[in-house]
Amino acid sequence: MIDFVVLVLLTIITASTPLVFAAIGEIVVEKAGVLNLGVEGMMIVGAIGAFAVAVTTGDATLAILAGALSGLVLAFIFGFLTLYLLSNQVATGLALTLFGIGFSALLGNGFVGQTYGGLPHLDIPILSDLPIVGQLIFGQDILVYLSVVSAIGVTWFLGRTRWGLAVRAVGENHDAAHSIGFSVALIRMGAVLFGGAMAGLGGAYLSLAHTPLWVENMTAGRGWIALALVVFASWKPWRAFFGAYLFGGITIIQLHAQGFGLDVPSQILSMLPYLATIVVLVLISRDDSRLRLSAPACLGRSFHASG
Amino acid sequence: MLIRLEPRAEASRAMVYQSPLIAVVLTLIAGMIMFRIMGTDPLQAVHAFFIEPISTLDGVAELLVKATPLILIGVGLSLGFQANIWNIGAEGQLTLGAIFGGVVALAFFDVESVFLLPAMLIAGIIGGMLWAAVPAFLKARYNTNEILTSLMLVYVSFLLLSFLITGPLRDPDGFNFPESRLFHDSAVLPIILEGTRLHIGFLVALLFAVLAWLMIVKHIIGFQIKVIGMAPAAASFAGFKEKKLIWLTLLISGGAAGLAGAIEVSGPIGQVIPVVSPGYGFTAIIVAFLGRLNPVGVILAGILMALTYLGGDSAQITMNLPNAVTGVFQGMLLFFLLASDVLIRYRIRLGALRVREVTPRQEGVT
Amino acid sequence: MKRFNKLASLTAVALATATMAMSGGAQAQSDPLKVGFVYVGPIGDHGWSYEHNQGRLALEKEFGDKVQTTFVEKVPEGADAQRVINQLATSGHDLIFTTSFGYMNPTLRVAKNHPDVHFEHATGFKRDKNVATYSGRFYEGRHVAGLIAGKMTKTNTIGYVASFPIPEVIRGINAVAIAARSVNPDVKIKVVWVSSWFDPGKEADAAKTMIDQGVDIIMQHTDSPAPIQVAESRGVWAVGQASNMSAFGSKAHLTAIIDNWSPYYVARTKAVLDKTWDSTDTWGGFKSGMVQMAPYNEAIPADVVALAETARKGIIDGSVHPFAGPIKDQSGKIVVPAGEVASDGMLLGMDFYVEGVDGKIPN
């Protein structure tokens, strides 16, 4: 029974990790006051970028870097348009998704049907041999560790560092941040690029570890879920981590319920992760008028310093 | 910095019309470079994308058929976006509208009545409104963010339609395949251009745009929507009921999306099928912003957006270009269109940045 | 040298003209026959649309410059389908393959307005004077796969990653259940529906879920090779879908049921060229080559391979039918009596599970 639970948890970890990356990246972007709805596009480009390098070089580290870089390049387009040409963020983000899906398909043309062995598992000596927790916590691949590190790191960065403060400042009140000497556009660009790299890593996890292959549209809407998780988490990285695991967990559990022959229509079971996310968000935001305060005040607003 | 943006004293009227043209020209140049790199004839490709789809009457009709749901949903969404109500789930509301409209058509399958079509469309509106009422209620009552709730309900609506179409709604004579019966003639929208598929739904969309424009320009509610979007504090000071506007904008945008869904099933599709819309609810968000949240602008943007899809088909058929190129080209066009909007409020100036008194300037999402 | 080149090219032209004249037929001399394809997915899906596109490429290879092919990919099954099909018909295509069930009514509507164009709709059941239908009897392949699975399973549970509860998918599940239980009466089939034709991540998760529940053979009726990869990494068996997927898990890959549209597409194009095209209903299986088995895994014992091959040959010569009675549904009621086989009508609209399948059909 314990073994079974461990196996289920392992599956949940794989299902949740791409969401963790993308959601935490987007949290930093939105904390800086930028709403980038192009997560799906950045993820899918990250997926093909990573996979292409993995197949051509066979080097996992290079592949991961390529995934992050691909997402970053797409994010740069978004950042340049919204921050320097002041284009509308919502529409530009959606256009970025359209572009990303097409662009990845173009890039991936020669990689359909190719295979990659998958990311190696980094077993931490001794610890990974422990019963139960061994494989669960200490026998994962590098990206899973990195997703945990990023949740902790971003929490620390936003809450404890000067640069984190700067990010929050431009997101809360860009006029004030500008008047005390912060470069709003530069800081926001940094956040947007970070978000792109993280979305790229989420995509890379899909094409390198979760299902090590390339097929068009393989992100299948996960970028949208990540966006919803940011709101769900009320812009707190650890809550996004929890949200991703909640979503991934319920997805897997409903599959198990089907496997055990539960007599409920599969479509109804498949609705559970979405409904559960709504219910949990309502529960945590109920009668909590402070929640609104956690949304960055300048979210989605362009800024232009004249002079 | 050699190139910089200088704010205009007021928005340039001329640029409102010129900037889209500039964007199209830039897209053509960039597109030609892209096609050249890909080894296809750039002129022919551009012709295939923009001219060929509308070179026949039938093509124009198809363009308007494709634009109809985009305009309907885009206009509805633009009201909410002006009030900073982020309904991202129009796709779900559209799906519910299709289900409700379809259920009415199938329930009264043998009934031949002039009231059937209006009943279907009203049912579609109700379906869309019900689906949008969930985020409205949760936001008004529990302050739950509508981006998440409306988006999650999109996926729920897809699964709901899948459930219904593999069960209760499927064609009794259809070998259990996942589709409903073809609607009776009296449940199919009349054609307004003989020999094409252009149906009356397009006129409905235009009418809705006019009504929305009147509401924004002439009615106090339109004024409240704009104020709450630009200056929420001022709005609450002036005693506007924010909750009322949450309900209002979500119900209108949801109803419009639901109507679009009912029009799709009773118009060009003519039956209920597992996937009613190829993402109109999401594309309409772009359309709303491309149209600068202005009903007339949304009509034009909807038609332009529809043209890029039709152009993508043409490019595949006449040029053998892969569908992926359509996505890339579409993305480029949108990037240029969105970026060139900057010219309306700013001037491009060459020269070094002079340091003088800093007057920060803030632009809302409007 | 230059002159020689010119001479050579002149000769070539003359030769080509002569060949064309000899091959006869108005088509060969005039413009090439334009053949259009409408795909529901991207050709890069490595599944359903990919295989149809392979069929298109086979046409080009077979007929060379006598045909000119066009395809439109990712065409949604709603209002857009009719426009795209119509555009193909009006742009001079003489033969149009619409390759997804949802194109049925749009195809028929366009066909009415274009009586001179030949239409071929895959997996549907409505025909017209100029609309033929075709599909594969993939259940024949599933029968063979089910026999192998029944012999190879140690845990007596087979897992099935399924897309949507439509007759085509249910038929496949039942074919596996009947075949597997014919060689191993203890076998149970677990089914997990992922509510998508195409979501590699979710397909992989479904496969893992069932493996965790004790399944040691994964079958699928979804399009991506992700379940094969999972089976490979978890050390269980798997059966590929639509194409040979052994590249994604050579140890796990027992075999695959291959959709092979090429012979049909070549034959139908030839029929149009020869002006012998007729509206037909083709439901091709092993015999016509539309369904094929990928090479069997070397780890399968010889007697099991022999069993599988006997069945395959039996299906071809008609001595074996995958849905031969007695067949019981889940409640134990006889739905096909002994000595009879299920009719094509029953197969086409199948909406019940046979004995041995766990769970209920979701509707």
Query: At B31, which CATH number?
Result: 1.10.3470
Is 60 exceeded by the pLDDT of residue B1?
no
Surface of B (17-36) touching A: CB under 8 A: none
pLDDT of residue B2: 58
Report d(CA A301, CA A296) in Å as an integer.
10
- A236 near B CB under 8 A: no
Q: How far is CA A131 from CA A6, B214, C268, in A?
A: 10, 69, 62
CB C217 within 8 A of CB C149: yes
Report d(CA A38, CA B338) in Å as an integer.
15
Return the amino acid letter for B318.
Answer: T
B1 within a domain of the structure (yes/no): no
**Domain span at residue B238?**
17-353
Q: In this complex, do B322 and C70 lie within 8 Å of one another by their Cβ atoms?
A: no
What pLDDT digit, counting tens, does each position of C57-77 carry? 999 999 999 999 999 999 999
Give bridge partners of residue C34 from the DSSP assignment: C68
Q: How far is CA A274 from CA A35, A218, B130, B298, in A?
A: 22, 20, 18, 31
Give the mean pLDDT of B37-64.
Answer: 91
pLDDT of residue B358: 42
- Of A185-199, B322-336, C345-359, give the lowest mean pLDDT range: B322-336
Q: Residue B238 — very low, low, confident or very high, per pLDDT cuts 50/70/90?
A: low
Mutate to test the interface with A, among B134, B137, B338 (most CBs of A within 10 A): B338
Closest by Cβ to C363, choosing from B166, B276, B316: B166
Q: In this complex, do B152 and A275 lie within 8 Å of one another by their Cβ atoms?
A: yes
Give the mean pLDDT of C73-84.
Answer: 93
Residue ranges for chain A with pLDDT beneath 70: 287-294, 305-307
Report d(CA B185, CA B162) in Å as an integer.
25
CB C27 within 8 A of CB C33: yes
CB B224 within 8 A of CB B245: yes
Surface of B (312-331) touching A: CB under 8 A: 322-331
Report d(CA C141, CA C145) in Å as an integer.
6
Instruction: Please list, in sequence order, all residues whose beta carbon lies within 8 angstroms of the beta carbon of residue B47, skipping any fewer than 6 positions away.
Output: none
pLDDT of residue A304: 78
pLDDT of residue C362: 66
Instruction: Please list, in sequence order, all residues whose beta carbon lies within 8 angstroms of the beta carbon of residue A28, skipping any fewer than 6 positions away.
Output: A154, A157, A158, A167, A191, A194, A195, A198
What pLDDT digit, counting tens, does each position of C114-170 carry? 999 999 999 999 999 999 999 999 999 999 999 999 999 999 999 999 998 899 999
- C250 phi, psi to nearest 5 deg: -70, -30
In this complex, which chains have at least 3 CB pairs below 8 Å with chain C?
A, B
What pLDDT digit, counting tens, does each position of B187-216 carry? 999 999 998 999 999 999 999 999 999 988
- B159 near C CB under 8 A: yes
Q: Which position has the higher pLDDT, C324 or B341?
A: C324
B174 within a domain of the structure (yes/no): yes
- Tell how strand C291-293 and strand C95-98 pair up: unpaired
Helices (H) and strands (E) in chain A, counts: 13, 1
- Chain A contact set for B34 (CB, 8 A): none
Whether the bond into C326 is cis, omega within 30 of 0:
yes
Q: How far is CA B350 from CA A82, A135, B162, B170, C216, in A?
A: 20, 60, 57, 64, 69
* DSSP of C296-357: PPTTS-HHHHHHHHHHHHHHHHTS--TTBSPEEBTTS-EEE-TT-B--HHHHHT--SPBTTB
In this complex, which chains have at least 3 CB pairs below 8 Å with chain B?
A, C
pLDDT above 90 covers a percentage of chain B that reads 55
Is 90 exceeded by the pLDDT of residue C26?
no
Domains, chain A, in order of start with CATH, read 2-294 (1.10.3470.10)
- A95 near B CB under 8 A: yes
pLDDT of residue A292: 55
- Chain A contact set for C233 (CB, 8 A): 118
| Nearest residue in A to B161, CA atom | A267
pLDDT of residue C178: 97
Give the mean pLDDT of C218-237.
Answer: 94
- C73 near A CB under 8 A: no
- Chain A contact set for B143 (CB, 8 A): 285, 288-289, 291-292
What pLDDT digit, counting tens, does each position of B51-96 carry? 999 999 999 999 999 999 999 999 999 999 988 889 999 999 999 9
CB B281 within 8 A of CB B90: yes
- A4 near C CB under 8 A: yes
- Chain B contact set for C91 (CB, 8 A): 317-318
Alpha helix locations (H) across A206-236? 222-232
Mutate to test the interface with A, among B152, B275, B344 (most CBs of A within 10 A): B152
Report d(CA C198, CA C225) in Å as an integer.
10
- Of B122-131, B254-263, C328-337, give the lowest mean pLDDT range: C328-337
Chain A nearest C-alpha distance from B111 (Å): 32
CB B334 within 8 A of CB A95: yes
ipTM, interface predicted TM-score of the complex: 0.91
- Chain B contact set for A92 (CB, 8 A): 334-335, 338
Q: In this complex, do B273 and C91 lie within 8 Å of one another by their Cβ atoms?
A: no
Please calculate the CA angle C156-C157-C163 and round it to the nearest 5 degrees: 155
**Which of B102, B144, B115, B133 is closest to B267 using CA atoms?**
B102
Tokens matching residue A181: 């000497």
Q: In this complex, do C125 and B178 lie within 8 Å of one another by their Cβ atoms?
A: no
B253 within a domain of the structure (yes/no): yes
Closest by Cβ to B175, choosing from C79, C80, C349: C349
Return the amino acid letter for B62.
Answer: E
pLDDT of residue C30: 65
Q: In this complex, do B270 and C105 lie within 8 Å of one another by their Cβ atoms?
A: yes
Q: How far is CA A277 from CA A124, A249, A252, B211, in A?
A: 34, 11, 14, 36
pLDDT of residue A265: 86
Report d(CA C285, CA C311) in Å as an integer.
13
DSSP state of C293: E
pLDDT of residue B352: 53
Please calculate the CA angle B297-B301-B307 and round it to the nearest 5 degrees: 155
Chain A nearest C-alpha distance from C180 (Å): 19
Is 90 exceeded by the pLDDT of residue B173?
no
Alpha helix locations (H) across C153-281? 167-183, 200-212, 226-234, 262-273
Q: In this complex, do C359 and A262 lie within 8 Å of one another by their Cβ atoms?
A: yes
Q: Residue B285 — very low, low, confident or very high, per pLDDT cuts 50/70/90?
A: very high
| Nearest residue in A to B309, CA atom | A98
pLDDT of residue A129: 79
Chain C nearest C-alpha distance from A231 (Å): 23
**Count of structural domains, chain B:** 1
Instruction: Please list, in sequence order, all residues whose beta carbon lies within 8 angstroms of the beta carbon of residue A55, skipping any fewer than 6 positions away.
Output: A111, A114, A115, A116
DSSP state of C44: G
Mutate to test the interface with A, among B19, B146, B286 (most CBs of A within 10 A): B286
Q: Residue B242 — very low, low, confident or very high, per pLDDT cuts 50/70/90?
A: confident
CB B199 within 8 A of CB B264: no
- Chain C contact set for A118 (CB, 8 A): 229, 233
Tokens matching residue C92: 């001079």
B3 within a domain of the structure (yes/no): no
- C350 near B CB under 8 A: yes
Give the mean pLDDT of B154-169.
Answer: 94
Report d(CA B261, CA A306) in Å as an integer.
45
